[in-house]
Amino acid sequence: MDGRKLMLLENSYLKYEILKKCIKQRSGTNTVYLERHSHGEFHNLYQDLRTQPLLFKEYCRMYLATGIQFRQLAFSFRISKSAISTIVPQVCKAIWTQLVRKHMPEPSEDSFKNIAQCFWDRWQFPNCIGCIDGKHIRIKKPKQSGSMYYNYKSFFSIGLLAVTDANYKFVMINVGSYGKDNDAGVFEECPFRRAIEQGRLKIPKEQVLPGSNIISPYVLLGDAAFPLKKYLLRPFPEKSTVKGDAKDNYNYHLSRARMVVECSFGSITSKFRILHKSIETNVTNAVHIVKAICLLHNIIRDLESINENELMSFRKGKGKRQEKTLNCILSNILCQECNNNKEICCTYL
């Protein structure tokens, strides 16, 4: 035995590295991944499920919307975890880019008028162009983020601020704000707030309220966490209302109409189970996923008929969101014009 062979026999670490390199060169792609066409769940089930549309729909939803870990998806579809973690955000981004103009276009003046008419027909609230609210989307703690994404509910999240119409569809969304920010803070920084106040959003001019000669602007409806503005109405504080009076009646109609945004959030959480747990990607990819979910929700609403029995019912005195008005909001000095709009709706309703 020559000196080189003797050295290899005595140096166990060097021998291990050489053997590992040889094995890697021989193996190439993992055999598990090479078998995806014969043993992967997609290739085995796709053709069979296409012959049974209901099962196909359920299985697709199960795989695309369960929120199972990338490691499990990789094993099921015989694709590496790194490939899965790249594919999912790319597909979500493509869904948004290709379909947003059709299923969540920038609202026009006519579309705002149609939304207002639907709110009046279905929820008996006049001149309403949408309901606004925020939702926390669970994420894994981003690296070197401190407490920026840690919210008051004691988990890490990004914010979803959305405006919905009377048919539970998203009209405008803003995704990706810090979890620590409240709804008012997120609204202050969101692009569509600036678009409204700068006149870039095509909101119709003031309109006469149905069945009267009272002129009132078109408005969004929000809860007590939002600031009172000319274009944004919020409920009266509970302390200033008496059961059965005009303010209580106004709060009831506003809460009743505003339930559509709560139902929309409930719908995406029910359909897309990934929202029940932390999204295991970075913040940028999580934003792509959430935007795709909101757009897919709109597509479902466009393609499927509405089953009224499955929608959340609302009864006066039940189901109201327990609104805790922040001290800073209570202490705000609201402009007279905003209060006048609120009083007009209160008197009208």
**Which position has the token pair 């803003």?**
174
Nearest alpha carbon to residue 68 among 135, 77, 349, 28: 77
From residue 212, give the alpha-carbon distance in Å to each of 208, 266, 339. Answer: 7, 36, 20
CB-CB neighbours of 275 under 10 Å: 22
Q: Residue 329 has what pLDDT?
A: 28
- Torsion, Cα 162 168 171 172, to 10 degrees, reads 10
Task: State the Cα–Cα distance between residues 148 and 101, nearest whole angstrom.
Answer: 32
- Which pair of structure tokens corresponds to residue 56? 């196909």
Task: State the Cα–Cα distance between residues 232 and 341, nearest whole angstrom.
Answer: 9
In one-letter notation, the amino acid at residue 24 is K
| DSSP code, position 28 | -
Q: Residue 248 has what pLDDT?
A: 85
Task: State the Cα–Cα distance between residues 218 and 63, nearest whole angstrom.
Answer: 42
In which element (H, E) is residue 324 found?
none
Task: State the Cα–Cα distance between residues 194 and 174, nearest whole angstrom.
Answer: 12
Sign, Cα dihedral of 169, 174, 176, 179: negative
Inter-axis angle of helices 246-271 and 109-123, nearest 10? 110
Residues 333-344 have pLDDT tens digits of 334 445 555 555
Do residues 292 and 92 touch, judged by C-beta distance below 8 A?
A: yes
Q: Residue 347 has what pLDDT?
A: 59
In one-letter notation, the amino acid at residue 68 is I
Confidence category of residue 104, pLDDT binned at 50, 70, 90? very high
**What mean pLDDT do residues 25-54 have?**
54
- Asked if pLDDT for residue 55 goes beyond 60, the answer is no
Q: What percent of the chain has pLDDT over 70?
A: 65
Q: Give phi and psi for 252, each to the nearest 5.
A: -65, -50
Do residues 109 and 237 touch, judged by C-beta distance below 8 A?
A: no
- Asked if pLDDT for residue 70 goes beyond 90, the answer is no
Q: Is the pTM of this model over 0.75?
A: no
**What mean pLDDT do residues 260-276 have?**
91
Task: State the Cα–Cα distance between residues 178 and 148, nearest whole angstrom.
Answer: 6
Do residues 314 and 250 touch, judged by C-beta distance below 8 A?
A: no
Nearest alpha carbon to residue 44 among 69, 78, 68, 70: 78
Residue 186 β-bridge partners: none
Q: Residue 150 has what pLDDT?
A: 95
